[in-house]
Copies of this chain bind each other. A is one copy, B any other.
Amino acid sequence: MDLNKSNVYECWLNYKHLPHNFDDEYKRFCSYIVAKSNPPIINSALEELKFAFTRFMGRMPEVLDSYPDSDCILVGTLDDAADEALRVSRGDLPEDGFMVHKFERNGKNVLAVIGKNEKGALYGVFHLLRSMCCGKPLAQVQGIDGPRNPLRVINHWDNLSGDIERGYAGKSIFFKDNRIVSDLSRVKDYARLLASVGVNGVAINNVNVHQVETRLITDEFLPDVARIADVFRQYGIKLYLSINFAAPVEIGGLPTADPLDESVKKWWRDVADNIYKYIPDFGGFVVKADSEFRPGPFTYGRNHAEGANMLAEALKPHGGVVFWRAFVYNCQVDWRDRSVDRAKAAYENFKPLDGKFLDNVIVQIKNGPMDFQIREPVSPLFGAMEKTNVAVEFQITQEYTGQQKDLCYLVTMWKEVLDFDTYAKGQGSTVSKVVSGSLFRMEYGGVVGVSNIGDSKCWTGHPLAQANLYGFGRLGWNPELSAQEIAEEWVKLTFGHDKQVVDTIVSMLMASRDIYEKYTAPLGIGWMVNPGHHYGPNVDGYEYSHWGTYHYADWKGIGVDRTVATGTGFTAQYREPVASMYENIETCPDELLLFFHHVPYTHKLKSGKTVIQHIYDTHFEGAEEAEGLKEKWLTLKGKVDDEIFDMVLERLEMQIKNAIEWRDVVNTYFYRKTGIDDIHGRKIYK
């Protein structure tokens, strides 16, 4: 128990901010903890309680294996609580769920946190501590809860060199100089953070599996991979590895990686068997195949189902799964060919395979049909896979959304995605129900998030970007939580209960996605970023590229016609009434107008503004509002931790600079192209 870590490092688990109702509701329970057994995950729960209660009370609680003559906390599994009259049976608790229940025993109050299993108990403890710190009344904290999504997994795009692809928070906490780090204390702190928000899986290496990383599945690295798995296991988190589909050739000495070849199948079975010797609860593989120059089954004339199933068969005897990414598209497009539409690719590749995947394959689908832009429609593939396990992939790391220099609370966006109605089984067929498996009664499914952490002091580069990691977990646990609720929880846990602090930071978070959208690419068109690193404006940056990412702006108009009537026909991948809504320019929401339609700059939006005036207005507003974020933040000086205050302020200043650059480049670009003046006469550089 290290009480000397900085606030910014401790994140939302600092336990330093007691709510007004603490003494009345909770204090009495914080001196004694009863645990009748102490297996590793329960032990993590007890460690957490001891740490928190020490912070709360200024002294260490006692942990006992029988009841004291005082009020106390009881922690354990259903088995541990068999003696108590809790009136709860195994069937009452959801998988990995828990019950919190207060009862009297010999005149003393016992607050019981009982898990269906060890993991449930750990989640229950984090639930209780979070509720205590947030000032939730004990009456509301009691009851049964469990995760809505079976799989809540973080994908790390960490390379063994220590570099992180699309990482904006320092180097890898797992890897350095092509080895696994020896000191795993930071990994343990990370596991705690993840478990506290319900994450139950982590893929530790980049989906782009390079030469060295291909060998992670061999005896050379597995002893060290197992050390990491041991740390995560204590927090109920399974370890996954991204694999190289061509590994049988590259490291196996086979002449082929054909998934239907018997020697290839055997090779992967042997690999899987060997991994499970080191890591008995190994989660499985994450696979990026036939995507952006990665090898895959196409090389051998096989399809994605054949590729995925071959791996799934190898893992099946051990209970492992395959996350097979649907991010498959032609990335060597000729920009001259307007008939090709990258947005259509995932659906076209995977819809025909629905029902062909084994039951331990999960197709991992990015939230939108393009690539993590600040505004995209939801991928139509979610409504199309009725007989396939699917998961939604969110990008917690802010590749296109400000790179943890700009504030962008992404939970609002993810919430929109999860709430999106696919109409796959009539109204109410939300993405949330698709990925949880409940809509189509699939066993596996859930949420996957691309990690935003590194070895930065605050984990996430921008301290306020911690809210995205927190929110990813919380939303994955319960997609019915609102973005606002999650923001409030996170702010209270991180910064405490001062109303001004809570209101200010929550309002900053809640406004941040809109602000970022305003000063970047307009009306759902996306891209317009500098190629390669993807930070900062470059309107034509991807316009003549092979990546399939175009805006088609000319002197008259802008946008991609994806209608069936006159365009690429992408809208037909949605079910009705969604397809018609997007197809029809009258009903297509403004914020996605340019994603679905090519319109003149003089086209009137539902707001009554022309497209060109909307571009000017939003860019002036966005930059102003970015400055407004700083002004709001400045009011918190002295009211939040000084170090965090300074770190955030530094980032907000970077954001303002970026926002002004975006404003001016975008406005100048469109002014130079159209010759149309801003009706308000604001400064546009000619």
Interface size on A, residues (CB 8 A): 26
Q: Which residues of B contact A531 (CB under 8 A)?
A: 530
Q: Contact: A554 with B686, CB < 8 Å?
A: yes
Q: Which residues of B contact A674 (CB under 8 A)?
A: 555
Any B CB within 8 A of the CB of A553: yes
Secondary structure type dominating chain A contacts = loop
In chain A, positions 264-291 with a C-beta closer than 8 Å to chain B are none
A540 and chain B: residue at smallest CB distance: B540
Encoded as 1 (CB less than 8 Å from any B CB) or 0, chain A from 104 to 123 comes to: 00000000000000000000
CB distance from A338 to the nearest CB of B (A): 8
Q: Contact: B554 with A671, CB < 8 Å?
A: yes
Q: Contact: B685 with A555, CB < 8 Å?
A: no
In chain A, positions 492-539 with a C-beta closer than 8 Å to chain B are 530-532, 537-539
Q: Contact: B532 with A668, CB < 8 Å?
A: no
Q: Which residues of B contact A539 (CB under 8 A)?
A: 540
Q: Contact: A554 with B672, CB < 8 Å?
A: yes
Any B CB within 8 A of the CB of A664: yes
Any B CB within 8 A of the CB of A665: yes
Encoded as 1 (CB less than 8 Å from any B CB) or 0, chain A from 241 to 273 comes to: 000000000000000000000000000000000
Interface centre among A530, A668, A672, A673 (most CB of B within 10 A): A672
Encoded as 1 (CB less than 8 Å from any B CB) or 0, chain A from 306 to 338 comes to: 000000000000000000000000000001100
Any B CB within 8 A of the CB of A547: no
Q: Contact: A673 with B554, CB < 8 Å?
A: yes
Q: Known: A540-B538, A554-B686, A686-B554. Contact between A672 and B673, CB under 8 A? A: yes
A675 and chain B: residue at smallest CB distance: B555
Q: Known: A336-B685, A554-B671, A555-B674. Contact between A538 and B544, CB under 8 A? A: yes
In chain A, positions 661-679 with a C-beta closer than 8 Å to chain B are 661, 664-665, 668-669, 671-675
Q: Which residues of B contact A665 (CB under 8 A)?
A: 544
Q: Contact: A668 with B544, CB < 8 Å?
A: yes
Cα of A539 to Cα of B540 in the assembled complex, Å? 8
A558 and chain B: residue at smallest CB distance: B672
Cα of A165 to Cα of B673 in the assembled complex, Å? 36
Encoded as 1 (CB less than 8 Å from any B CB) or 0, chain A from 215 to 235 comes to: 000000000000000000000
Any B CB within 8 A of the CB of A556: yes
Encoded as 1 (CB less than 8 Å from any B CB) or 0, chain A from 533 to 571 comes to: 000011110001000000001111000000000000000
Q: Contact: A555 with B336, CB < 8 Å?
A: no
CB distance from A45 to the nearest CB of B (A): 49
* Partner pick for A537 among B544, B553, B554, CB 8 A cutoff: B544
Interface centre among A544, A556, A661, A672 (most CB of B within 10 A): A544
CB distance from A282 to the nearest CB of B (A): 38
Cα of A415 to Cα of B672 in the assembled complex, Å? 38
* Partner pick for A672 among B532, B537, B553, B661, CB 8 A cutoff: B553
**14 further interface pairs, Cβ-Cβ under 8 Å (given A335-B685, A538-B540, A554-B671):** A336-B668, A336-B685, A532-B532, A537-B544, A538-B544, A544-B668, A553-B672, A554-B672, A554-B673, A555-B672, A555-B673, A555-B674, A672-B673, A673-B673
A-side residues, CB < 8 A to B, are: 335-336, 530-532, 537-540, 544, 553-556, 661, 664-665, 668-669, 671-675, 685-686
Closest 6 CB pairs between A and B?
Answer: A554-B672, A336-B685, A544-B665, A540-B540, A555-B675, A555-B555
15 contacts between A and B (CB under 8 A): A335-B685, A336-B668, A336-B685, A540-B669, A544-B661, A544-B664, A544-B665, A553-B672, A554-B671, A554-B673, A555-B555, A555-B672, A555-B673, A555-B674, A673-B673
